[in-house]
Amino acid sequence: MPVPATAWQPGMRITALRLAAKDYQAGIVSVSFTSLASYTQAITFPEPFPVAPIMNCEIAAGAGSTGRFEARPINVSPTGWTLFVLITDAAEGPDTWANIPVHWTARMPT
pLDDT digits (tens, 9 = 90+) for 8-46: 667 777 777 666 666 889 999 999 999 999 999 999 999
In this structure, of 4-18, 19-33, 48-62, 69-83, the range with the lowest mean pLDDT score is: 4-18
> Between these two residues, 20 and 63, which has the higher pLDDT value?
63
Quote the pLDDT of residue 52.
95
Domains of the chain: 37-107 (2.60.40.2080)
Instruction: Look up the pTM and report it.
Output: 0.79
pLDDT at residue 2 is higher than 70: no
DSSP helix/strand/coil, 103: strand
- Does residue 23 contact residue 4 with C-beta atoms inside 8 Å? yes
